[in-house]
Every structure is written in C-alpha cells, then in structure tokens.
C-alpha cells in the first residue's frame, strides 16, 4: 500500500487491487497521471474533487483520507454488478472473509473474481482478460450510479469463501445482471470458478471442473 500525502487529502493506493479501470486518470488527470512520477499528486485538486473521483474506483485500490475528517460513506443498499466478461463489482458496506472467518477486505468497493483465474482470489486481479473469460453482464462497473438511499449505517454484505467452491453471500443486495432493472436478492452462492451454467450463481459445476481455491 502506498500513501501520497497532500494538503487537503492523502491518497492511498493498493497496486494489488488495481486492475486499471482508469476511472482515476480519466476523471482527474491533474491528480492521477500514469505517465508522471509519482503518478499521484494530491495537490492537483480539492478534497471534494479527489473524493468524488476516488469513489469511482471500482476495486477499492484507491482511497482518500480527507484532512477535514470527512469519510467515504458506504452506499446503501449494497449492489452487486455482474461485470460483462469480468468480475463482480460490489459496492456497499462490504466484508470479504475466508473460510475461517478471517477478514480479507472490509471496504465500500471491491471487485471479486468470477473467472476462477485470479492469483489473488477471491479478489479480482484482472486475469479474466488474459484468460479471455466471456460471460454476459453489465457494461458499467456502477450501474446503480452510486445510489445512496440509506447512507447511515447500511447493513453489511458479507462474502465468505468456500474452499474449491463458491462465494457465500450474507445480506440483502441489488443484483445488476445487465444494464436493465436490478433484482432484489438476499444471500446466495455466487460462482467463482467461471463454469456455472447459471451465472452469477453457483450450480455445482466447480466439482465437474475440479476448481481449486482456498
Ligand atoms: S463456484 Fe462455479 S459453479 Fe460453483
């Protein structure tokens, strides 16, 4: 994790979680410039501008630490957008934990692998591109467009990894399978091997393909 210090806000960057969605360099090039070293300059914009663009980072690789004490609120209700040919884009009060219940991530934004190829499972590391993973889904990483209806104390959405199997979800969420209207869901088992015929849900195919993941 790298930290770039600024007058109105510090910016943290976790390169492991960055899959080059490029929302930052498109949204605020004065601050985020991949051709400059260092590539992040928090002095290039106000804390409000930085926070607004950082919130668009769909993987949670970027975070802003405002000097005025303002903090990013988890959007509610939680949303899961099934990425076209890509990961599950999750927003909300998100907790990702391993089979023992140990936390892997606690964040407002995460990208979860659903192709089965990430080296950082259950988080996406962009491996779906090299794997040429294809599956229908949303074109947008945030089809709910940051909808915040209950910003105070939203319910947590927890993902629990099953060894060699799916992600078990606890909590309520809006599921965007495509760019049309989302469905309301509660709980479920989401495929992370890439082989289900009922994506994004698990249909047991992980056994047939001998999926291996902790
Ligand atoms: S994890 Fe893919 S079918 Fe179960």
Q: What is the pLDDT of residues 36-67, one digit of tens each?
A: 999 999 999 999 999 999 999 999 999 999 99
Torsion angle, alpha carbons of 201, 202, 205, 209, to 10: 100
Answer whether 187's CB lies under 8 Å from 169's CB: yes
Centroid of ligand 1 to alpha carbon of 207 (angstroms): 8
Nearest to 211 by CA among 137, 122, 132: 122
Residue 150 has pLDDT above 70, yes or no: no
For 162-202, what is each residue's pLDDT tens digit? 999 999 999 999 999 998 899 999 999 999 999 999 999 99
Centroid of ligand 1 to alpha carbon of 97 (angstroms): 18
To test ligand 1's pocket by mutation, which of 163, 191, 207, 213 has the most ligand atoms within 8 angstroms of CB?
Answer: 191
Q: Which residue has the higher pLDDT, 212 or 144?
A: 212
Coil, helix or strand for 131?
Answer: coil
To test ligand 1's pocket by mutation, which of 118, 205, 213 has the most ligand atoms within 8 angstroms of CB?
Answer: 205
Coil, helix or strand for 35?
Answer: coil
User: With bands split at pLDDT 50, 70 and 90, how would you rate the model's confidence at 154?
Assistant: confident
Coil, helix or strand for 205?
Answer: helix
Predicted local distance difference test score (pLDDT) of residue 180: 87
User: With bands split at pLDDT 50, 70 and 90, how would you rate the model's confidence at 149?
Assistant: low
For 15-33, what is each residue's pLDDT tens digit? 999 999 999 999 999 999 9
Q: Could you tell me what percent of the chain has a pLDDT over 70?
A: 96
Count of beta carbons in the 10 Å neighbourhood of residue 184: 9
Q: What tokens does 181 get?
A: 């209207």
Centroid of ligand 1 to alpha carbon of 136 (angstroms): 16
Cα separation values, 74 from 23, 25, 29, 86, 146, Å: 19, 23, 25, 23, 9
Centroid of ligand 1 to alpha carbon of 193 (angstroms): 5
Cα separation values, 36 from 6, 19, 191, Å: 16, 19, 39
Question: What span, in angstroms and rounded, lies between the C-alpha atoms of 116 and 177?
Answer: 19
Q: Which residue has the higher pLDDT, 160 or 146?
A: 160
Residues at CB less than 6 angstroms from ligand 1: 165-166, 191-193, 195-196, 202-206
Centroid of ligand 1 to alpha carbon of 194 (angstroms): 7
For residue 184, what are the β-bridge partners?
A: 174
Which ligand 1 atom is the nearest neighbour of the CA of 192? 1
Cβ neighbours for 55, distance < 8 A, ≥ 6 positions apart: 72, 108, 109, 146
Predicted local distance difference test score (pLDDT) of residue 73: 86
Nearest-CA residue for atom 4 of ligand 1? 202
Question: What span, in angstroms and rounded, lies between the C-alpha atoms of 142 and 134?
Answer: 19
Predicted local distance difference test score (pLDDT) of residue 148: 52
Residue 130 has pLDDT above 60, yes or no: yes
Question: What span, in angstroms and rounded, lies between the C-alpha atoms of 200 and 42?
Answer: 38
Question: What span, in angstroms and rounded, lies between the C-alpha atoms of 78 and 93?
Answer: 7
Answer whether 76's CB lies under 8 Å from 150's CB: yes
Coil, helix or strand for 128?
Answer: helix
Predicted local distance difference test score (pLDDT) of residue 179: 85
Residue 155 has pLDDT above 70, yes or no: yes
User: With bands split at pLDDT 50, 70 and 90, how would you rate the model's confidence at 143?
Assistant: confident
For 68-126, what is each residue's pLDDT tens digit? 998 888 887 899 999 999 999 999 999 999 999 999 999 999 999 999 999 999 999 99
């Amino acid at each position: 994790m790298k930290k770039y210090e600024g007058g109105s806000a510090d910016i943290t960057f976790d390169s492991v979680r960055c899959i080059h969605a490029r929302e930052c360099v498109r949204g605020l090039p004065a601050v985020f410039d991949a051709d400059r070293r260092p590539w992040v300059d928090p002095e290039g914009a106000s804390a409000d501008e930085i926070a607004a663009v950082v919130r668009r980072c769909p993987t949670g690789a970027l975070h802003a630490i405002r000097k005025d004490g303002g903090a990013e609120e988890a959007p509610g209700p939680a949303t899961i957008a099934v990425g076209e040919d890509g990961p599950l884009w999750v927003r909300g009060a998100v907790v990702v934990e391993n089979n023992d219940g140990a936390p892997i991530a606690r964040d407002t934004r995460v990208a979860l692998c659903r192709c089965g190829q990430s080296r950082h499972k259950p988080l996406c590391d962009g491996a779906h591109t090299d794997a040429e993973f294809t599956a229908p889904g949303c074109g947008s990483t945030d089809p709910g467009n940051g909808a915040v209806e209950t910003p105070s104390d939203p319910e947590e959405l927890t993902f629990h990894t099953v060894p060699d199997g799916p992600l078990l979800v606890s909590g309520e969420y809006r599921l965007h399978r495509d760019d049309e209207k989302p469905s309301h869901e509660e709980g479920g088992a989401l495929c992370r091997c890439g082989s289900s015929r009922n994506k994004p849900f698990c249909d047991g195919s992980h056994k047939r393909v001998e999926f291996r993941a902790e």
